[in-house]
Structure 1
């Protein structure tokens, strides 16, 4: 979501509408809806460049449309979803003569995914990051999702901490996860409590048929045996597990989160796939 306004002091406007708790209605809406608007032109340009050109873009949390309009300059059509009726109304009024933009006054999470190929892009409400990512991963026509998220979330999903999350591993054969850059908290208004990042989730051109792979990964992450090697020995013959880990070049004592997603495909092929 995006909104353009200066970086000045807004205490004079806030005093006009103060209600209980010392917050304006606008303040409470921002807090409830997790609204932190991108106001830095360079940051917006970086996000648009990361998105790239597409025929159809869905934008969760369009706000007043700073990012919406920027995306429309490089993409064929942009459908902006905004759950805040005040912001949705302003964006719809401001873009009513722009055939490239359509505004939906409602929750992106309730949207039906298009049948045609499409991408998702946006400065999303961080409180529902996981729900938006899950929506994207379930959409058959999704080609990519380029999202601003909290920096910690993006680092966790892309292995930037030196370890890998279960979600990343279980979706890796079909989706690539990439951290495209960090965004200082000062590029947003209100200023959030943590820095952000641009996260890119891209569907791979080849979708392998791996029946049971997600369940295989889920079992590996249970940690029943301590290390991944020991856990797999609880389900598969020891000699096969040893051979699989040798083929995958994974040391037996390796902690499950430190096993690169590429190595999981080898383990699956040598263990589950040949059961």
Structure 2
């Protein structure tokens, strides 16, 4: 196991270095390496997960914003060679590296940007068949939540519209340096086949976000900005609150709005 004191964890980057190689191996094993040849790890730090990816994947890339970690990886993982991307995942155009090719995402994600990582994945869903990683436990549970749950929301619906979401296991704070103040949770997303929806996908994003921004209101009230016709407003689906609707019902709702004249 790598010496976990060689790179200092930086609070402003949300770094908590995983120190347990058994958990790193379990995370690595959550991907199907036959589904895609290229793997992108976000925020590898000192490579506790990277070492297992290099054993399993045909081609491993890492993206790391911390220069100290980049230097560490270059020194300790010479086989990564030109596969270290010293950039901010959220700002970097990944097709400068992948050029439209398919790749899967994995990582021990910084809590402060984890939901943004998921939204960027959704934007690039045509290229990303699978995704696995560690989040703050409550965020992982939110992504995997089903309708009727108090934590079911925008992230749940939009992720599950395109991916099968599975909560895999919980990770305690004690296996990180420094330890976070909360438990972590590992999940896996597997893209649905087909993943294209039978509705206007951009409109679905707008409908879901608008509905949950006023989650205590019925859809008839929260979706007023869509200028619903009287005929459409009479549909009983509008008597419900957003957390009561399944993903497929949100897709049906989007179809109804598209056809409303």
Shift of the 186–222 alpha-carbon distance from structure 1 to 2, 3 Å rule, reads closer
Q: How does 1:61-140 map to 2 (within 5 A)?
A: 61-96=43-78, 98=79, 102-113=83-94, 114=98, 115-139=100-124, 140=126
Q: Is 1:236–2:228 an aligned residue pair?
A: yes
For 1:109 and 1:219, locate their aligned partners in 2 and report how far apart those are by CA, in whole Å. Answer: 24
Shift of the 225–187 alpha-carbon distance from structure 1 to 2, 3 Å rule, reads closer
Q: Is 1:42–2:22 an aligned residue pair?
A: yes
Q: How does 1:132-171 map to 2 (within 5 A)?
A: 132-139=117-124, 140-159=126-145, 161-171=149-159
Shift of the 208–199 alpha-carbon distance from structure 1 to 2, 3 Å rule, reads same
Shift of the 47–238 alpha-carbon distance from structure 1 to 2, 3 Å rule, reads same
Runs of 4+ in 1 over 6 A off after TM superposition: none
Equivalences, count: 248
Q: How does 1:142-221 map to 2 (within 5 A)?
A: 142-159=128-145, 161-206=149-194, 207-211=196-200, 212-221=203-212
Return 5+ residue gaps in structure 2 as ranges.
Answer: none
Structure possessing the higher relative contact order (Cα contacts under 8 Å, 6 or more residues apart) = 2
CA root-mean-square deviation: 3.0
Find the partner of 1:227 among 215, 218, 225: 218
Report the CA distance between 1:273 and its aligned residue: 3.5
Shift of the 273–186 alpha-carbon distance from structure 1 to 2, 3 Å rule, reads farther
TM-score, normalised by the number of residues in structure 1:
0.77
TM-score, normalised by the number of residues in structure 2:
0.81
Find the partner of 1:272 among 254, 258, 261: 258
For 1:106 and 1:225, locate their aligned partners in 2 and report how far apart those are by CA, in whole Å. Answer: 40
Report the CA distance between 1:269 and its aligned residue: 3.0
Larger Rg: 1
Q: Helix, strand or coil: the match of 1:66?
A: coil
